[in-house]
Structure 1
């Protein structure tokens, strides 16, 4: 085990509900219709992918570019001051970084990843931060995890990935990483996908001890 790669939304930041709320609001305001399956489908998509989904599948009367800007601008406004960092997340990243190189592989746009890093003073500790905007395909494709490993200079199979969602777990598994699941209580992942994780934790704060037992 040479490195640890964290997801952001739902693992370090309590933002999955916020993304859902903002997207639902934009869909309602711009003539679209929310579908029951949309919440799970959208989790893990890159910005271009979910913006196209809002237009093509949910029927909002905006272009994909307008949809992306509208949602991200509102998310950035909600992040002003301090993002909703999960209890213990910042200390967990610091503790893990004392033993391993760490990275973030997230579906959030770079502006929100940087907002988290600056708010928590983790910019100098998290060596690599990759958004799915910067790769060919979002989760559940493995691209963002593979890019994070590449930038860290380690083999994907030597990385531990920490994930909460169905598509995130699938992405890390497809990258051949050892996966630790920290299920989101608001949007639980598919149990069959979660069962493929090496370990399942109740809280991100359990991660340093779990890693110590895996060495």
Structure 2
């Protein structure tokens, strides 16, 4: 396949944010006397803001609206990131290395404000030709909407893109969009075996992401 673009996920790929999201959302639920279920974090990973806020308001906490949930959680996340988001080792180098090789896009479940904050802190915002939050499409991951929209913004067929993902829902989303997928799993939230099987390559860290590897795929 001709490789024309590379599309990154954000949470769990460039920043170690899933533990922060879990702590903040779990704390919100607990502070309002709600119930955090054993599969809640896995279910939330990849959901858009509208989807996870609606899920928390409908299934975990009584007497709140989805809008109230989203506002409170995103405000707390912004405060956590203000001192610097939890960047993963090799994140900035990987982005700069691959931006010099092919155009970059980003498809994230985070809201636009957090995407901008993180990329600005990394000083790589200008290196992404297209960035998209799943707030801007009809359905979050595992639906392919976000990846398809980024490919369209880049002007590249999805089948000519490589996506870099970490979570089950993210892997399913990129694969459903027709992209070749590289998995960079996080030990704290490993993807399921069936989702991992969708990846063309499983990398142990971001240092493995080189033009040579992507060309070989």
TM, length-normalised to structure 1: 0.97
- Distance in 2, Cα, partners of 1:7 & 1:199: 16
- Distance in 1, Cα, partners of 2:154 & 2:58: 36
Unaligned stretches of 5+ residues in structure 2: none
- Distance in 2, Cα, partners of 1:114 & 1:132: 14
- Distance in 2, Cα, partners of 1:182 & 1:2: 21
Instruction: Specify which of 116, 119, 123 is matched with residue 114 of structure 1.
Output: 116
1:133 equivalent to 2:135? Answer yes
| 8 A Cα contact 1:20 1:39, kept in partner | yes
Distance 1:72-1:48 versus aligned 2 partners, 3 A rule: same
2:68 alignment counterpart: 66
Unaligned stretches of 5+ residues in structure 1: none
Q: CA deviation at 1:72?
A: 0.3
Provide the aligned length of Structure 1 versus Structure 2.
214
Q: Within 5 Å, which residues of 2 pair with 1:1-215?
A: 1-208=3-210, 209-214=212-217
| 8 A Cα contact 1:33 1:60, kept in partner | no
Q: CA deviation at 1:213?
A: 2.8
| 8 A Cα contact 1:145 1:175, kept in partner | yes
Q: CA deviation at 1:205?
A: 1.5
Q: CA-to-partner distance for each residue in 1:53-75, whole Å, 9 max, x for gaps?
A: 00112124321000000000000
| 8 A Cα contact 1:3 1:158, kept in partner | yes
| 8 A Cα contact 1:30 1:61, kept in partner | no
TM, length-normalised to structure 2: 0.96
Alignment RMSD (CA, Å) = 0.9
- Distance in 2, Cα, partners of 1:155 & 1:60: 44
